[in-house]
Amino acid sequence: MIGQRIRRCVLAAIVCAPSYVVTLAHAQSDPLPSWNDGPANATIVEFVAKVTKKGSPDFVPPAERIAVFDNDGTLWAEQPMYFQLFFALDRVQALAPQHPEWKEKEPFASLLQNDVKRALAGGEHAMLEIVMATHAGMTTEEFEQIVKDWLATAKHPKTRRPYTEMVYQPMLELLAYLRANGFKTFIVSGGGIEFMRLWAEKVYGVPPEQVIGSSIKTKFEVRDGKPVLVRLLELNFIDDKAGKPDGINSHIGRRPIAAFGNSDGDFEMLEWTTSGSSPRLSLIVHHDDGEREFAYDRKSPFGKLDRALDEAPQRGWTVVSMKHDWKRIFPWQRP
Amino acid sequence: MIGQRIRRCVLAAIVCAPSYVVTLAHAQSDPLPSWNDGPANATIVEFVAKVTKKGSPDFVPPAERIAVFDNDGTLWAEQPMYFQLFFALDRVQALAPQHPEWKEKEPFASLLQNDVKRALAGGEHAMLEIVMATHAGMTTEEFEQIVKDWLATAKHPKTRRPYTEMVYQPMLELLAYLRANGFKTFIVSGGGIEFMRLWAEKVYGVPPEQVIGSSIKTKFEVRDGKPVLVRLLELNFIDDKAGKPDGINSHIGRRPIAAFGNSDGDFEMLEWTTSGSSPRLSLIVHHDDGEREFAYDRKSPFGKLDRALDEAPQRGWTVVSMKHDWKRIFPWQRP
């Protein structure tokens, strides 16, 4: 009876899942076709087998199979800079006519002269000014429309592809493979929560309620009888570094058993995940493929990977070489 | 093929659900056995039929079937005062030996003399002092243990039942009925998020990641090599009144199509839910049964229902009379 019930549930997980999962699940001989044979692939498959095997001491009930994924540099690219920053810069250009004062005011003055490097020289403060000027002051519905319109036309400066096509095929397979095995997949990113939610379901199969990110405060108001949430000029939460375990606790309320990142910004999330006593899977995507993608780590201003790379071996974190472990990077590249 | 797939998914939802759901689902002739026949029952069943009927103009895809439930007074009782306040008062007694200064300091001095009314006369400020003194200063894991220990022994002052048995049987059926129809059920409560998460899954079938509540800030620290989250003496979010749509937006990221509350604290949540254009279900539990539960509304210090009761008819919100619409209130009462 129990065996039958489990089989029925597994069957249901496959049948009721989005069509690409079904396609994947049919190819049961290789659940991760874009991953080369090697230790990273083996570590993932062994972990999933272990925690899903009923009766095994390492068995984890489906409700506790929580997997968290960083976004920038882990699920989609982050070079030459975070894609959300391209959005913000495009918005500065679009909004400039309403802000004549920007011509004299940094970081906007440099941006309007297309000198991004000088604009960002002001560091976090400059970044925050740009984000606030472009992400606040409208309702959540208005913001949604602005992001959707941008996504429909914006192109990555190097590949000329829409940003939502700059996603990593092996990670799409990993997301689907985990879900087919009863995992609930979450995004835990420093990116804006309301920015990511607009495309994460379509692109990754991750619904809005499973997206965790940085946020600004919102305020409920009734305007002409219609309730709205207004995006305020006030930071609410930065979902990066030590903020990630905090965001995980606040949104999920239980500790993940699997975590996937690519930078030192993910260190605490991996640390938090692996400090549990049962089996854990932690994985770092290492950007070492300058030919098919970008090669960067210790010195990159975006996605700096230094301490986590040094400590990965002693902490039992698997480092994935994009060059050696992945047959292809993007869905539109030939394997 | 599609029909077969849906049937298989419904079957799976039933087979894979907790056992009390299975029991319920078998009685398919009446999905809400503790609800009397009447307009409230009919409104619920008609709404569910409408949004789940494939091909109908009112069909809502499962991913968008979000239902939000207030907790205090909607899923479990809230008289003679919020149960979490009983927890806080018990903690004040337990912690008093470590705080000799409380003997001279309000609101603690009155509490230690068992004069709750005088202690709470200080209003929100007094309440906040009590909550902070009892809910902060420990790690999330320590807090979890404290709450679990308390729940194991604490009893409701009137019924002498554990607080987790003070839940409304008709609402348990409603939660299960919605889930069996593809809804994702969330709690959206003014209560503490980390307090509710510890028992919401077992009692309501609502997993931690679908519980939204008020919170204090936490801080990530590494103590003796072990990462912890420390609960700080600082409010993070009040999930009440206009905070509820905000909490819904922040945690769920899409607008619910069904909302259930019992007080003016739920007004904005119901308003936010019903302002969408597609079919919506909003329901207010009215505590009018002094015999089987408690009778209160416009003047109650806990769960005040005034404006929402007045405006329910014009806003299309269904008012449920506990006295007339429910065959029984608690699971342990005979129908």
In A42-71, the residues whose Cβ lies within 8 Å of chain B are 63, 66
C-alpha torsion A245→A246→A247→A252, nearest 10: 80
Contacts of A201 in chain B (CB under 8 A): 63
pLDDT at A28: 56
Residue A281: closest CA among A45, A38, A33: A45
Interchain proximity B249–A226, CB inside 8 Å: no
CA dist list (Å): B57 to A215, B52, B54: 35, 10, 9
Q: According to the 3-state scheme, what is the secondary structure of A102-124?
A: HHHCCCHHHHHCCCHHHHHCCHH
Q: What is the pLDDT of residues A32-63, one digit of tens each?
A: 999 999 999 999 999 999 999 999 999 999 99
pLDDT at B44: 98
Burial of residue B104 (number of CB atoms within 10 Å: 0-12, 13-18, 19+): exposed
CA dist list (Å): A250 to A123, A132, A213, B209, B218: 28, 24, 11, 8, 9
Structure tokens at B205: 């079938």
Give the separation between CA A206 and CA A201, rounded to whole angstroms: 4
**Least CB–CB distance from B251: residue in A245, A251, A275:** A251
Residues 6+ apart with CB under 8 A from A47: A258, A279, A281
Give the separation between CA B204 and CA B179, rounded to whole angstroms: 11
Interchain proximity A220–B193, CB inside 8 Å: no
Structure letter (DSSP) for residue A295: B
Residues making up chain A, counted from first to last: 335
Ordered per-residue pLDDT tens for chain B, 335 residues: 344 444 444 444 434 444 344 344 444 579 999 999 999 999 999 999 999 999 999 999 999 999 999 999 999 999 999 999 999 999 999 999 999 999 999 999 999 999 999 999 988 889 889 999 999 999 999 999 999 999 999 999 999 999 999 999 999 999 999 999 999 999 999 999 999 999 999 999 999 999 999 999 999 999 999 999 999 999 999 999 999 999 999 999 999 999 999 999 999 999 999 997 789 999 999 999 999 999 999 999 999 999 999 999 999 999 999 999 999 999 999 87
Interchain proximity A252–B208, CB inside 8 Å: yes
pLDDT at B335: 77
pLDDT at B28: 56
Interchain proximity B209–A252, CB inside 8 Å: yes
Interchain proximity B268–A242, CB inside 8 Å: no
Q: What is the pLDDT of residues B137-149, one digit of tens each?
A: 999 999 999 999 9
pTM, to two decimals: 0.91
pLDDT at B127: 87
Amino acid at A152: A
In B199-258, the residues whose Cβ lies within 8 Å of chain A are 201, 207-211, 215, 218-220, 222, 226-227, 229, 236, 242-243, 245-246, 249-254
Q: Does A12 reach chain B within 8 Å, measured CB to CB?
A: yes
Interchain proximity B275–A227, CB inside 8 Å: yes
**How many Å lie between the alpha carbon of A263 and the closest alpha carbon of chain B?**
18
**How many Å lie between the alpha carbon of B34 and the closest alpha carbon of chain A?**
28
- Tell me if B252 sits within 8 A of B288, measured CB to CB: no
Q: What is the pLDDT of residues A266-290, one digit of tens each?
A: 999 999 999 977 899 999 999 999 9
